[in-house]
Each structure stands twice: as C-alpha cells, then as structure tokens.
Structure 1
Amino acid sequence: MNEASSIQGGVPLALITALREREAATFRRARPKSAEAVGKGIAGFLGGVPMHWMHDWPMPFPILVDRAKGATITDIDGNRLDDFCLGDTGSMFGHSPAPVARAIRRQASRGLTYMLPSEDALAVGRLLAERFGLPHWQIATTATDANRFALRVARAVTGREKVLVFNGCYHGSVDETMVRLIDGKPVNRPGLAGEFRDLTHGTKIVEFNDLDALDAALSDKSVACVISEPVLTNSCMVLPDPGFHAGLHDITRRHGTLLLIDETHTISTAPGGYTSRHRLEPDLFVLGKPIAGGVPASVWGMTDELAAQWSEYDRTREPGFSGMGTTLSANPLQFAAMRATLEAVMTEKNYARMERLAGRLEKGLNAAITRHALPWHVARVGARVEFICAPGPLRNGAEAEAAHAPSLEAAFHVALVNRGVLIAPFHNMMLVSPATTRTQVDHLIVAFGDIAAKLAA
C-alpha cells in the first residue's frame, strides 16, 4: 500500500478502520432488538431489505424505527436520535408536520385515490403558480417521474433527441442522466444494473461551471434540454461560480435549447427554491420529495410559451398513449398534503429559522475543522449543510468525485449515530428543519468536534 492509499481525507486509513470497528461494536450493543429483527435481513424481502439502498447505510445493520416526530427519530430499542437526515430531504420540514398530519387524517376519511381532482387541487394549482412563478403544472409521484415527463415534453416540442447533463448530477433514476465523465470521456455511470444501452448516444455531458464546454456542446442544435440542479448536491456539494446561472440561461436561449431546473434538493434555499431566490427563469421546473411533507409526490411546471408549444404538438400528434403519467399520481391525498405544506409549512418564517440555525451549524463545523487542522471544508445551500473531507471549494463533478472519502465518511456516520445524531448516509448531508432546535444543532457540533479530535490524533 503506497502512502496516498493509506490516507483518506488527511486521516490514516488504519485510524479510520480502528474507529469504525469500535463504533460498530458500540452500535450493536445499543440495539439488540434491531439486531434480532433486521441484523440478518428481513424475511420476505429480496436481499433482506424492502428497498435495496437500505443496504447503503454504513451502520452494521439498518435501524428499525419505532416512531419519528419533528426532528427526532426513536428506534425500537428506545434510542433517540437528533435527525439531520430527514429522509434525505423527504421530511425536510420535520416528521409529520402538524398541518400535514391534520390534512392526511381529514382526507383519509374521504378516499385516497379516484383519478379525479378534489377541492384541494383547486388551491394547489394556484399555490404552485404563486410560489414558483410558472403558470402551468402537472403532478407526479416522484421527481424521477417528473423529470422523465418533462424531458419528453422538451423532446416533443423541439424535435431534438438529446439532453445535456452536468457531470456528477443527480435527477433520480432518469435513464438519460445516468452518465459520467471518466478520464474526460462520456460513459454510462458505473454500476448500472441491467442497462443494455449506451446512454451517451442520447445524452451529452459537460462539467458543472464550464460555460465554454456547455456552449460548444449545444452548438450543433441537437440538444432538446439541459437538465440541471442549481447546485450539485448528490455528490460532495459543488456551488455555482458567480455568473454561471446567468451564462447557462443565455447559452441555452442562444441555441434554442430548453432549460430544466431540478430543485428537489435545493428547495432548502427558500420557499420558492434556489430558482426564486436567484431568479433563474427556467423553461421547466421540477420539485419532488418534500413538496407534500413526506407523502410521495412531485410537481413539474412550465412557462406559457412552452405550454403553447406543447398544446400545438399534442393537438397534432397521432392518437395513443403519451407515455407520461401514472395511475396513482395526482391523487387526493397528495393534494391535501401539498396544500397543507405550501400554505402552512413552507413559510418565510420557517425558512428564516432554518437558515439561521443552518448558519450556526456551518460556523460550528468550520470551527471544529480549523481547531483540529483537518484538510476539510463545509458547504451550504440554505438549510442544507455538508462537511466534505477534502479542501474546497469544489468546482465540478470530477473534483466532487475525487473528494469523496467513503471509508472515512462511513466511520464518521456510525460514530455520530452512537452520539445520538443521524445524518444522511450519502455525502455527509445535514438538513435543518423548522422543528430542529438550537440544542440539537449544538449537540451535533459537539459530537462532530469529538469525532474530529479522535481522527486528528
């Protein structure tokens, strides 16, 4: 083993391994009921878990949750965790916000799905247009579905086949976005299961923050749509350079390419998302995960101009199934939960509190990193905070991939759980919700500092 491979994130790998082994033993001792229930897998499920990514948590076995409320999770062994994962953004506003819980109880007695709109749909249509600035909306169940449907519209109205994504992006499991740049060449994302196509035939890929490469990629007028997060988030976080989004808007317009902004993670920025805060003016907008307070739902919207183009296309296309839409989408339970979330949960007051506490968390983590002289940094977009085990800031997906320290991050994650704190199992993401308290933020800062001190030793 050479010197570089024996160090990760500035920490000797032997120290990381020792920490993870100690913390894994502590984790097991604290959870005998979870170990008995799920330690050898759950009977009846493929691979022993209901969803395969439940294996991706770095704990020795998944925590079996008894209940969650506000910003706290309690497992069946009675362990309480300050929850900064919040369902990887799905419960960004806390678990079971009271207005959403009331709306669900009310709708449950009126029917859960019937393929027709409810009264809440009348309010939601207005609220979406007011909140996000686009006049025409559709409902889906996941952001993956919403992105997939929006890209179909883009291809239909432009008559172009290709889409463009940024290296390191994340847009759910949309096939076209499952590409990466490896040694400067576009390839299928490593590890795809059962994918039989070369996805690079229909997708172009360039680095985030590289406007020259974007301009060149769009110049042949073959790209229907650029799909982008405002900030790269499902990698080590990459913030946009000053002027990047203005350039992205201008370049797509010049080449007749549509622009889709996926706010599923960056809704942490403001009630109208990063798009509203920074006036991005996309043609298409997608938001999933937290829009219904934890009930599976997503929305996608478009401009007047694009809606008119779609209407003309739809009027003249041959009859038949469009390939867009799912039976359970736009059900009354979604509308009830979305209305409650938009009216009573996604408020300016709640966002101001989230921003304030997230700023406190960012400052505390940075102080600990400096105190222990670790070569790490902290990135934040609104209420979303990440510590990254590499120097920063990062500028693109290639740098984000190189900054990923999987062994170190896994050991840190389990150590935080043992100190009563849960963060996302991916890329050290932490969210502050309206239910999160200052005491919980300070608890996380102290726990982080304690673990950092051990690794710095």
Structure 2
Amino acid sequence: MARKPALIAGVPASRLEAIARREADRYTAARPATRKALGKGAASFLDSVPMHWMKDWPMPFPMLVARAKGARLTDIDGNKLDDFCLGDTGSMFGHSPAPVAKAIRKQARNGLTYMLPTETALTAGRLLTERFGDFAWQIATTATDANRFALRVARAVTGRPKVLVFNGCYHGTVDDAMVARHDGATIPRPGLVGQVADLTRVAACAEFNDLASVEAELKTGEIAAILTEPVMTNSCMVLPQPGFHEGLRRLATDYGALLIIDETHTISSGLGGYTRVHGLDPDIFVVGKCVAGGVPTAVWGLRPKVAEGYLSYLGAKPAGHSGMGTTLSANPMQFACLAATLGKVMTAENYARMEKRAGRLAQGLAQRIETRGAPWHVVRVGARVEFICAPGPLGNGAEAANAHVPEIETVLHTALLNRGVLIAPFHNMMLVSPATKKRQIDRLIAAFDEILAEMFA
C-alpha cells in the first residue's frame, strides 16, 4: 500500500486532515436550514443538483443562496459572505448592477423574446465595436456556443478541418477543445462522457508558450484556426511569456490559419479585455459570461476581411441548415442588458477601481505567503487574482496541472467560507468587482493568513 506523504505542498498531512475535519463540521453546524431544505427538495434533481458541477464545490454540501447584491451574498441560514467568486466571472461587475437591473425591468414590460432585433440591438452593436474593436458581431447565449460557431466559420473560410488548442485550455464545453498533449502527441482528454468521435481528427494540441510546438502543427496544413485564451485560466493560471502572442499572430498569418482569441475569463484584464490592453490582433474575437451583467450572453466577432470571406462562402453554399444559431440567442433581454453593461458598467472608471483593489489583494496574499514560508505564489491579471499552492511562475498547461493540490485547496475553500469569504470552486480564483470594498479585501487577506498560520505553524 502506498504511504501518504508527510508533507502536502509544505503542510503536514496529519495537520491538514485535522483542519479539514474541523472546518467541515463548522460549515455543517452553521447551516441547519440548508440541510433541511436539501433533504426535502434536492431529490428531484439528478444526483441532487440542478447542474452537475454544483457538486464540484469543495463545501460538504451545496449552499442555498437567498440573495446577492454588489459583492455580498447571503445563504438561507443568514450567513453573509464577501463574494470573490462572482459567478466564476459571470457577475464580475457585481451582482445586479443598477443599470442592468433597470434594463431588465424595462424590457420585461415589452416582451422577453421574439426572434427579431430591437433598436437597442443597434446600440449594443455600436458599443461592442467601441469596446472591443473593428469586428462584425454575432450574438450567442454562451461562450461555448460562440466558440463553436467561430470554429465553423474558420473551417468554412479556410477549407481546413482542424483547430489548434493548448494543453489544459478552457473554452467551455466545445468538443473540439477537449484534447490534451501527451508525449508530444494529441489525445482525447480523459473523463469525457459519452464521447464516441475521434477528436484527434478535428483538433491538435500544443503547449502554451511553446511556439515550436505550434509551428509543428501548423506545418501539417490542416489547421483552420488557433483558438486560445490570452492567459491560461480555469486552472493554475499561466501567463504568456514575452513574444508569445506576437509569435502566434505571425505563425497564423504565415501558415494561413485564423487566430481566435477567447476573452471569456481574461475580460478581467481591463477595458476591452487583454486584446485591447495589450494590443493583440485576432481574426475572430469571443467573449461571454459577464458581458451582459450576468444575463446569459456571449458575442463573437469577425474582422472585416474574414467577414467578407464568410459571406462569400454563404453565398455559394447549398441551401440548408448551417448548424449554427439557437432560438433564444439575440433576444431583446440580452440586448437590453448588453447595452446597459457596455455603456454604463464596463467603464474605464470601474476597471481602474477593480485594478487598484485587485493589486491590494494580490500584494496582501503574496506577503502572507512569504511571511508564513509557504512554497506558493500569487498571479494577477487585472481584476483576477489566484494563489497557487506551488512555486512559480508556471510556463504551460502541463505545469499548471501538476501545480494543483486538491487536498490543500479543498481545506482552504471551506475554511475561507467559515470565515465569511467565498472564492471560485474549481481553482483558487478571486475576482474584484467595482462593488468590492477595501474592508472586504482586508478580511479575505486576514482569513487567508489565519489559515496559513495554522497550516505552517
């Protein structure tokens, strides 16, 4: 039988187990109403949750939310939490921003969906171009859909079959992105449910920050598009090395592939996303989650030359289903919330506030890690901050996967919850919204330090 390690990310395993038991008991004792409600009503759902990933939270059982406003969240037992998860970016600008709530009330009186545009849709289109650049826009409901549609366009325009993605990438649940790199070869990701098609026929996988591996795949002549986040997220965060994005743009151009930038998480970087802040030049741009203030909405846009090529393709193709579009996408409620968010919430002033306070958070966490002697590090991209329970910086997806320490992360999540702080469940991510107060940031730093002090006593 394999022996348990004496230390886990620098923490004695026996101490970690004791903290884990105590924090789980504390969480449970604070939520009698939640346990009672789950016992009565959860059985109607498959595996007792409305969406399977709600089981992935490290808390002993799901928390039932009563209300959320700004950067605060309250559960049905009355426990109040400083919310740094913010719907895993969906509510990055805070819960129910006033302009969005007002837009919802107004539009609700005029209908929710009717498969036709509104005058507000025209305003939203103009604001999209002002915020993100010169693209011809389309509206989807999720970033997964937007990425899926963008890939169809890329294949149509280039006539090539494959997408190139990066090991450990995150692009929602797009089938084509569910590949990994192992021993220099592309393989389907393990754990996929009901997967029957060979994904290596439609996708290739390279390592982030490794332009040689990118060029090797492009040389096959099969790559229609490179699909990438500017920064690897949804894992232990990996920053691009100097020259990496310039190299991607050059290689895509040289080999006739399109470059798709997915900003669904890196919209935290600043006004216009990482693309605008750092001067990237994608052929196709995708962003979702928070772009309509939390109402399910995503957008994808084509540079004029790509749009022209795609419209030419459409004019020549046979009549029939395109395999793109969903009935409820581009509904009037989306446009009302999109225009309100782009025009009144996603502003330079709000980003400046987020950036300043996220800097305070990152600096505070890094100082506590250093003081306690933890072999960890902190990464920040604009309003997005992560602590990583391993030395850094990380260079690619393989290193990011190895840096995960579930035993530590689970304990930290629950312990922070018990001290009034909620962070993202799938990784150690924290977002700072315009509504986040300095005192909330200081409470998070103090709670983090209290737990660290015990772990590394």
Give the structure-1-normalised TM-score.
Answer: 0.98
Structure 1 vs Structure 2 CA RMSD: 1.2
Q: CA deviation at 1:35?
A: 1.1
Q: Does 1:47 align with 2:47?
A: yes
> What percent identity do the matched residue pairs reach?
63
> Secondary structure of the equivalent of 2:44?
coil
Asked if the contact 1:41–1:49 (Cα under 8 Å) also holds between the matched residues in 2, the reply is no
Q: 1:274-423, aligned counterparts within 5 Å?
A: 274-423=274-423
Q: Which amino acid aligns with 1:247?
A: G
Q: CA deviation at 1:134?
A: 2.5
Q: Does 1:62 align with 2:65?
A: no
Partner of 1:132: 132
Partner of 2:145: 145
Q: CA deviation at 1:347?
A: 0.3
1:100-156, CA deviations, whole angstroms, 9 ceiling, x for partnerless residues? 000000000000000000111010111111111123000000000000000000000
Aligned length, in residue pairs: 457
1:293-320, CA deviations, whole angstroms, 9 ceiling, x for partnerless residues? 0100000001000000001100000000
Q: CA deviation at 1:183?
A: 4.0
Q: 1:215-294, aligned counterparts within 5 Å?
A: 215-294=215-294
Q: CA deviation at 1:198?
A: 2.1
Measure, in 2, the Cα distance between the counterparts of 1:18 and 1:37. Answer: 29
Partner of 2:197: 197
Measure, in 2, the Cα distance between the counterparts of 1:5 and 1:274. Answer: 40
Measure, in 2, the Cα distance between the counterparts of 1:25 and 1:135. Answer: 52
Measure, in 1, the Cα distance between the counterparts of 2:2 and 2:361. Answer: 36
1:326-360, CA deviations, whole angstroms, 9 ceiling, x for partnerless residues? 00000000000000000000000000000000000
> Secondary structure of the equivalent of 1:327?
coil
Q: Which amino acid aligns with 2:256?
A: G
Measure, in 2, the Cα distance between the counterparts of 1:216 and 1:369. Answer: 40
> Secondary structure of the equivalent of 1:439?
helix
Q: Which amino acid aligns with 2:386?
A: E
Measure, in 1, the Cα distance between the counterparts of 2:322 and 2:419. Answer: 51
Asked if the contact 1:40–1:48 (Cα under 8 Å) also holds between the matched residues in 2, the reply is no
Partner of 1:438: 438
Asked if the contact 1:49–1:55 (Cα under 8 Å) also holds between the matched residues in 2, the reply is yes
Q: CA deviation at 1:83?
A: 0.0
Measure, in 1, the Cα distance between the counterparts of 2:420 and 2:228. Answer: 35
Asked if the contact 1:165–1:177 (Cα under 8 Å) also holds between the matched residues in 2, the reply is yes
Q: Which amino acid aligns with 2:369?
A: I
1:41/1:22 Cα in 2 relative to 1: closer, same or farther (>3 Å)?
farther
Measure, in 1, the Cα distance between the counterparts of 2:5 and 2:248. Answer: 38
Measure, in 1, the Cα distance between the counterparts of 2:370 and 2:2. Answer: 27
Measure, in 1, the Cα distance between the counterparts of 2:321 and 2:208. Answer: 36
Q: Does 1:33 align with 2:72?
A: no
Unaligned runs of 5+ in 2: none
> Secondary structure of the equivalent of 1:271?
coil
Unaligned runs of 5+ in 1: none
Q: Which amino acid aligns with 1:14?
A: S
Measure, in 2, the Cα distance between the counterparts of 1:145 and 1:16. Answer: 41
Asked if the contact 1:73–1:82 (Cα under 8 Å) also holds between the matched residues in 2, the reply is yes
> Secondary structure of the equivalent of 2:410?
helix
Measure, in 1, the Cα distance between the counterparts of 2:2 and 2:193. Answer: 32
1:104/1:297 Cα in 2 relative to 1: closer, same or farther (>3 Å)?
same
1:194-249, CA deviations, whole angstroms, 9 ceiling, x for partnerless residues? 11122122111010000111111101211000000000001100000011100110
1:9-58, CA deviations, whole angstroms, 9 ceiling, x for partnerless residues? 22222222211110000000101011111268713111100000000000
Asked if the contact 1:41–1:47 (Cα under 8 Å) also holds between the matched residues in 2, the reply is no
Q: Which amino acid aligns with 1:20?
A: A
Measure, in 2, the Cα distance between the counterparts of 1:308 and 1:5. Answer: 59
Q: Which amino acid aligns with 2:371?
A: R
Q: Does 1:106 align with 2:134?
A: no
Measure, in 2, the Cα distance between the counterparts of 1:349 and 1:248. Answer: 31
Q: Which amino acid aligns with 1:278?
A: H
1:272-305, CA deviations, whole angstroms, 9 ceiling, x for partnerless residues? 0000011111000000100010100000001000
Moved more, 173-182 or 345-354: 173-182
Give the structure-2-normalised TM-score.
Answer: 0.98
Measure, in 2, the Cα distance between the counterparts of 1:161 and 1:125. Answer: 31
Moved more, 188-197 or 429-438: 188-197
> Secondary structure of the equivalent of 2:94?
coil
Measure, in 2, the Cα distance between the counterparts of 1:156 and 1:107. Answer: 36
Asked if the contact 1:163–1:226 (Cα under 8 Å) also holds between the matched residues in 2, the reply is yes
Asked if the contact 1:271–1:346 (Cα under 8 Å) also holds between the matched residues in 2, the reply is yes
Measure, in 2, the Cα distance between the counterparts of 1:186 and 1:38. Answer: 42
1:40/1:163 Cα in 2 relative to 1: closer, same or farther (>3 Å)?
farther
Measure, in 1, the Cα distance between the counterparts of 2:452 and 2:135. Answer: 48
Q: Which amino acid aligns with 2:379?
A: A
1:408-455, CA deviations, whole angstroms, 9 ceiling, x for partnerless residues? 101100000000000000111000000000000000000000011111
Q: Which amino acid aligns with 1:358?
A: A
> Secondary structure of the equivalent of 1:43?
helix
